[in-house]
Amino acid sequence: DINIANQTYACFVRSPHARAKINQVDTTKASKAPGVVAILTGDDLAQDKIGGMIAGWKIVSQDGKDMKVPPHPALAKDSVNYVGDHVAVVIAETLEQAKNAAELVSVSYKILKAVIDTSNAMNSEAIHEGIDRNLCFDFVLGDKGKTDDALSSADKIVKLDLINNRLIPNAVEPRASIGDYNSSSEQLTLYTTNQNPHLTRLVLSAFNAIAPEHKFRVVAPDVGGGFGSKIYPYAEDVVIAWASKKIERPVKWVAERSESFLSDCHGRDHITHVELAVKSSGMITGLKVDTIANLGGYASLFATVTPTYLYAPLILGLYNIPAAFCNVKAVYTNTAPVDAYRGAGRPEATFLIERIVTEAAKEIGMNQAEFRKKNFISKFPHQQCLIHNIDSGDYNAHLNKALEVADYKNFENRRSQSAKKGKLRGIGFSTYIEACGIAPSAVVGSLGARVGLYDAASIRVHPTGKVTLYVGAHSHGQGHETTFAQIVADSLGIGMDDVNVLHGDTENVPFGMGTYGSRSLAVCGSAIMKSVDKVKEKGARIAAHKLECSPDDLEFADGSWTVKGTDKSVGFGDVALTAYVPHDYPEGEEPGLDFASFYDPVNFTYPFGAHICVVEVDKDTGEVKVVKYVAVDDVGNVINPMIVDGQVHGGVAQGIGQALFEGAVYDDSGQLLTGSMLDYCMPRADNFPMFETDRTVTPCPHNPLGVKGVGETGTIGSTPAVVNAVVDALSDYGVKDLQMPLTPERVWKAMQNGN
């Protein structure tokens, strides 16, 4: 909705082919079209030495070699690698003129056979020069020898082949960018729908060489949803910022929904074989996982960490499994790039462990809840055999609570009642753990991250005692304006309305790492608390001066400093005013009440929960209806129960969407068949029952608020619960390998074929 005087409009010319060489881009006719201001191509970009898009996390393969990343210019120069790849940008006085002229850009392509299928990518022709077998990396984690021993000495090896379907994120608001260059001040401003304005500025400045950081402002104001798909800067951001500098006028681009389908990064897309070693006593002794992860046409910014460090360590779930080994082969195909999407790696891990644990319990004839409890981690801290050191938890408690809320003991009665109506009732469990607030910087650096993972907050107390809070995290639906104001107001004993929370503008907020991985409260919230503490410490010195005592004699409560054991006190507002009007003031103390803090966490936070889904499957049509959904989550201390519930609801809706409805489909030539809301089935409100949410509270021991993340728990916990429920409903049909989305057709066919 932002418009700038004298702005122009951009329309991208996109590749209609999944894989082709570009012979020529002819702009002659288009450049004569009415209203055209400029047409820019990959050659112009190269001439101006604008750097390509980067992969932000280096993964090393098991042979010790670095991952293979192809060049990814923001406008394709020699080749295109998916339908929707950017070839040129047309800039005109109006949007219509830009669109009309874009149709006149003539691109001559040599069409090549596209590589689409994830499972076959390694046996297909290389789509990028020098990248054999289309393999970006061949990553391993864990102890193969120990895991093989566990499998060979197991009483039972449970096996599953799973496909984690490709998803298309659909935020309410499509992406948009405006570049605004002021030639007299040489200042470039980029307004963009992004979850990390500082990261975007850093990448566009240091890697794409768009503008020096100190002359470059990135503003991401109210952004209508991101779900991970707006973490990373896109080619459009680079092109729009550069184009505005080039033509010295503002340039505006807003994605149409169909462009979003084609060119927003997609999520998930794994093919996995999993084996679980189990003793007849019910103890799990080993887990082996082989995954092929599809990266799409290029390696997007966080694409390489998602199927590795955000995935592989989490395959253990919340179980005490002594040996595990995970191999991930990441491949390029001629499809839209795949990157982080709500949950990023952790839903994929949870899906496989919760599916195989369910199968294992079934195969050895144990009750689902009892089998899980037998294998839960029970002592904390617990060093898992893959990376994570889990600091706290009480896993029986949340499962017990979920069983109670779901009225599990009477489930079989309800199953019989459903059967009388011709419906197959099933119940599915998912007891998940996730790792949020990826940290600390030094550790992630040693694992290949090219950024730090701290956050920052500064507090400006105004002379009247009102507060402006500037945060590095970004809110695009998570309600930070509410919860961050709450923690400041509670700590300083002032009203919530007295705190204004600002985010999303590199010009006024401190350098933070933005929002993803459900990190904002645990990491940025901790930076806020550090700044609050500094305000209170200095405030205490000023108050002590006013009350003629030592700061140690004071206690702070309800917005006032009081001399212990007396009724002598001074309020927060008085102290704030004194800090800015320092007439009667402690000697040597600086005026002002204004502090900034950075916080680099010592560990991840580990939320966990138990989700129970109950479905009814129509025997005749295969249609699945979710009739009950219970989510008992533990996100540590809760700052705002309504927002936490809202986050869980949204996540569960997306997770059920993956299980039952959503799935991107490309045809063999690489055309996206699910390129609109008509073809890509988003879940709707009437697909859901009322979600029943509850909580247990195990505070995080290492951050000042005792909080863990909640933003992704719903997507992580829900998907396997739904699939497990459907498989349970079909248990009489011997169905085991059921692939998502569980459309009526698929379910019906599985009932006919027994698989």
Interface residues with ligand MCN (CB under 6 A) are: 225-228, 342, 476-480, 483, 515-522, 635-640, 643-644, 647, 650, 707-712
Q: Least distance from C-beta 110 to ligand MCN, angstroms?
A: 39
Q: For helices 641-656 and 713-729, what crossing angle results, to 10°?
A: 50
Contacts of 378 (CB under 8 A, 6+ apart): 320, 395, 396
Q: Least distance from C-beta 609 to ligand MCN, angstroms?
A: 12
**Do residues 745 and 622 touch, judged by C-beta distance below 8 A?**
yes
Measured from the CB atom, is 225 or 551 closer to ligand MCN?
Answer: 225
Q: Least distance from C-beta 651 to ligand MCN, angstroms?
A: 7
Here the tokens at position 458 are 């500064």
Q: Least distance from C-beta 515 to ligand MCN, angstroms?
A: 4
- Best CA proximity match to 105, nearest among 40, 35, 176: 40
Q: How many CA atoms does the CB half-sphere of 600 hold within 13 Å?
A: 10
Measured from the CB atom, is 368 or 518 closer to ligand MCN?
Answer: 518
Torsions phi, psi for 699 (to 5 deg): -60, 145
Q: Least distance from C-beta 195 to ligand MCN, angstroms?
A: 8
**Do residues 408 and 369 touch, judged by C-beta distance below 8 A?**
yes
**Cα–Cα distance between 68 and 134 in angstroms, integer?**
9
For residue 497, CA distances in Å to 483, 505, 684 come to 12, 21, 35
Q: Least distance from C-beta 634 to ligand MCN, angstroms?
A: 9
DSSP 8-state secondary structure symbol assigned to residue 449: B
Here the tokens at position 424 are 């197959």
Measured from the CB atom, is 179 or 233 closer to ligand MCN?
Answer: 233
Measured from the CB atom, is 229 or 368 closer to ligand MCN?
Answer: 229
Measured from the CB atom, is 478 or 578 closer to ligand MCN?
Answer: 478
Q: Least distance from C-beta 536 to ligand MCN, angstroms?
A: 21
Measured from the CB atom, is 116 or 522 closer to ligand MCN?
Answer: 522
Q: Least distance from C-beta 412 to ligand MCN, angstroms?
A: 36
Here the tokens at position 82 are 């998916």
Q: Least distance from C-beta 312 to ligand MCN, angstroms?
A: 19
Q: Least distance from C-beta 650 to ligand MCN, angstroms?
A: 5
Here the tokens at position 676 are 């609109």
Measured from the CB atom, is 225 or 586 closer to ligand MCN?
Answer: 225
Beta strands in 247-345 (DSSP E): 251-254, 267-278, 284-296, 324-332
Here the tokens at position 716 are 């992580």
Measured from the CB atom, is 235 or 700 closer to ligand MCN?
Answer: 700
**Do residues 325 and 140 touch, judged by C-beta distance below 8 A?**
yes
Measured from the CB atom, is 56 or 73 closer to ligand MCN?
Answer: 56
Measured from the CB atom, is 479 or 582 closer to ligand MCN?
Answer: 479
- Best CA proximity match to 533, nearest among 521, 525, 545, 544: 525
Q: Least distance from C-beta 476 to ligand MCN, angstroms?
A: 5
**Do residues 403 and 614 touch, judged by C-beta distance below 8 A?**
no
Measured from the CB atom, is 394 or 574 closer to ligand MCN?
Answer: 394
What is the residue-wise DSSP string for 636-649? Answer: BS-S-HHHHHHHHH
Q: Least distance from C-beta 368 to ligand MCN, angstroms?
A: 28
Q: Least distance from C-beta 705 to ligand MCN, angstroms?
A: 8
Q: Least distance from C-beta 605 to ligand MCN, angstroms?
A: 9
SS3 582: coil
**Do residues 480 and 473 touch, judged by C-beta distance below 8 A?**
yes
- The strand pair at 324-332 and 135-142 is best described as antiparallel
**Cα–Cα distance between 493 and 435 in angstroms, integer?**
32
SS3 494: coil
Here the tokens at position 374 are 């037998």
Q: Least distance from C-beta 557 to ligand MCN, angstroms?
A: 23
Here the tokens at position 513 are 């790492």
DSSP 8-state secondary structure symbol assigned to residue 505: B
Cross-strand pairs, 167:
267
**Do residues 542 and 585 touch, judged by C-beta distance below 8 A?**
yes
Torsions phi, psi for 482 (to 5 deg): -85, -55
Measured from the CB atom, is 331 or 449 closer to ligand MCN?
Answer: 449
| Strands of the sheet with 36-41, listed across from one edge | 36-41, 86-92, 8-14, 251-254, 176-182, 187-192, 216-219
Q: Least distance from C-beta 262 to ligand MCN, angstroms?
A: 20
**Cα–Cα distance between 676 and 683 in angstroms, integer?**
14
Measured from the CB atom, is 121 or 310 closer to ligand MCN?
Answer: 310
Q: What is the widest separation between alpha-carbon atoms in the chain?
A: 86
Give residue for tokens 């896109």: 234
Measured from the CB atom, is 73 or 228 closer to ligand MCN?
Answer: 228
Measured from the CB atom, is 286 or 711 closer to ligand MCN?
Answer: 711
**Do residues 257 and 677 touch, judged by C-beta distance below 8 A?**
yes
Measured from the CB atom, is 260 or 327 closer to ligand MCN?
Answer: 260
Measured from the CB atom, is 73 or 655 closer to ligand MCN?
Answer: 655
**Cα–Cα distance between 38 and 267 in angstroms, integer?**
34
Contacts of 233 (CB under 8 A, 6+ apart): 53, 192, 194, 199, 200, 203, 204, 301
Residues recorded for the chain = 755
Q: Least distance from C-beta 505 to ligand MCN, angstroms?
A: 18
Q: How many CA atoms does the CB half-sphere of 351 hold within 13 Å?
A: 31
**Do residues 53 and 72 touch, judged by C-beta distance below 8 A?**
yes
Q: Least distance from C-beta 22 to ligand MCN, angstroms?
A: 35
**Cα–Cα distance between 464 and 445 in angstroms, integer?**
43
Measured from the CB atom, is 517 or 609 closer to ligand MCN?
Answer: 517
Here the tokens at position 209 are 């060489």
